Amino acid sequence: MKIKYLIVLAILLVASALAFLIACEEEPPASSQPLTHCELCSTELEEEDSALFCPNAECIVTIIGLDIIDLPALKETFADYFDIGNIFNPGDVNAGGSAVTTNRLTHHYNVLTAENHMKPSYLSSSATSLNAGGLATADRMVNAALASGFKVVGHTLLWHSQIPSWQADLRTNSTTKETALTQMRNYITSVVTHFGDRIYAWDVLNEAFPDGGLTSDWKTSMRTGTQGNPWFMKIGHEFVYEGFRAARLANPNAILYYNDYNMNMLNKASLVRDMVQDVNNQWLSDPLYDGKLLIQAIGMQSHHNTGITPASIQAAINLFKPLGVTISISELDILSQSWGDYSAATAVTNTGRQNAANLYGQFFTVFLNNSDIIKRVTFWGLNDAQSWRARGEPLIFSGNKVKLSYYKIIQSLQAFTE
């Protein structure tokens, strides 16, 4: 095992060196400041070698030359620990739905989540009918992913965002609670049944809790107002149990997730823990109880920034452990800057890029330390330009090129197996 990763690292270092030589010979950096500490190789270097690996700060953070298709596949590198996923869109699959055509996705990942095309606004046209066009696109994506050897996560059934008007209107209209409950069950049943066992895991409920104003009682702390969760606003907290129950009945094989962001904030994580505990307890006395947890898994989205600590992620995982659930890191990206700088649209700096790379390594150390319950790590985007937060450079690849973050992840695995 150890030899395997040493070989992988050796290949990476030799390839980087060659790439640097080529890149730097052609166009020497204008303000080259030789460094003696090489972050890439985590060691002190002679000045001669330092110039090779780290000719200037820019070269530390932007590893030029290496195409990610030539790197060892992440899904194979981490195969002993967890699946490695990413997101996909219609443009990533062929017209016939028989293959994923973005070969850098196929190379590195073994699980895909539709970035947008399985959300309610895409799949539903009215309370009584699904959207045939939306379903056709989602079918094409799912079929292509399966044909190319991926597993597929269904994202997402119940949400407050990207929903059709008939769901949004429930926040304020006079539809009765009973009718809304029937509509919710019907929506879940029809979508989950449609995809059947092609979907191995469903994000049943997404982001039910707001960013602020949380009480200590999950039953009264869910989103309300113009951006509220319509199901909570119309039905009350019992929509959670009823929603997961409908999903279980529609596909008893699918792994059912609660998925949310900022889970490293312990007040939010505590509410999630309480909700999962209560719902799973209630399931025990349901006549349809099948011996499995009703909420089997928690998705920690993990849209992070350079202000987030590895310890806070471990603390949230510790909160969830007693539930007996599994965990997936379901939407990972780390801004190359603080949340404040991103919000203010401040330009990313090399220091920020370096900090994000270091955090990628440290977070993967946490993931590896908890790989008994972490089953999947899904990145939310293939490369920076395709990210929903592109200007914050939050991913591990830039275009088709590798970033320092990738090496930090590999180094964390190497250290873990030593």
Compute the CA torsion angle 323, 329, 333, 337 (nearest 10 deg): 30
CB-based burial label for 34 (10 Å; 0-12, 13-18, 19+): middle
Hey, what are 282's tokens? 């209630």
Instruction: For ligand G3I, give the closer residue by CB, 83 or 115.
Output: 115
Among 56, 116, 309, 358, binds ligand G3I (CB under 6 A): 116
Return the residue of 92, 331, 341, 384 that touches ligand G3I, per CB under 6 A: 331
162 binds ligand G3I (CB under 6 A): yes
The answer to whether residue 333 forms part of the interface with ligand G3I (CB under 6 A) is: no
Given 92, 115, 203, 331, the catalytic residue: 331
Longest alpha-carbon distance in the chain = 75
**Catalytic residue selected from 39, 92, 203, 260:** 260
Structure tokens at 275: 């909700």
Residue 131 touches ligand G3I, criterion: CB under 6 A: no
Exposure string of 86-114, with b = 16+ CB inside 10 Å and e = fewer, is bbbebebbeeebebbebebbbbbbbbbbb
Does 301 interact with ligand G3I (rule: CB under 6 A)?
yes
Catalytic residue list contains 44: no
By C-beta, is 223 or 408 nearer to ligand G3I? 223
Q: Are 256 and 204 in contact (CB under 8 A)?
A: yes
193 to 222, contacts with ligand G3I by CB under 6 A? Answer: 206
400 φψ region: left (φ > 0), alpha (ψ -120 to 50), beta (else):
alpha
115 touches ligand G3I by CB under 6 A: yes
| Residue (116 or 189) nearer to ligand G3I, CB | 116
CB of 254 to ligand G3I, least distance (A): 18
Contact call for residue 189 and ligand G3I (CB under 6 A) = no
Is 331 designated active site? yes
SS3 54: coil
Per DSSP, the residues of 175-233 read --HHHHHHHHHHHHHHHHHHHGGG-SEEEEEE--S-SS---S-GGG-S--STTS-HHHH
- Which residues ranging from 374 to 393 are in contact with ligand G3I (CB under 6 A)? 388
- Residues ≥6 apart with Cβ < 8 Å to 224: 210, 232, 233
Total of residues contacting ligand G3I (CB under 6 A): 8
Residue with smaller CB distance to ligand G3I, 16 or 137: 137
Q: Which is nearer to ligand G3I, 24 or 114 (CB)?
A: 114
Q: Is residue 161 within the footprint of ligand G3I (CB under 6 A)?
A: yes
Q: Which tokens belong to 131?
A: 């959207």
Instruction: DSSP letter for 30, please.
Output: T
Tokens of 368: 């590896």
Catalytic residue among 115, 207, 341, 384: 207
CB of 396 to ligand G3I, least distance (A): 17
Taking alpha carbons only, the member of 237, 236, 229 closest to residue 210 is 229
Least Å distance between CB 410 and ligand G3I? 26
Q: Do the Cβ atoms of 394 and 385 come closer than 8 Å?
A: no
Task: Identify which of residues 51 and 382 has a Cβ nearer to ligand G3I in the complex.
Answer: 382
Positions marked catalytic: 207, 260, 331
Residues in touch with ligand G3I (CB under 6 A): 115-116, 161-162, 206, 301, 331, 388
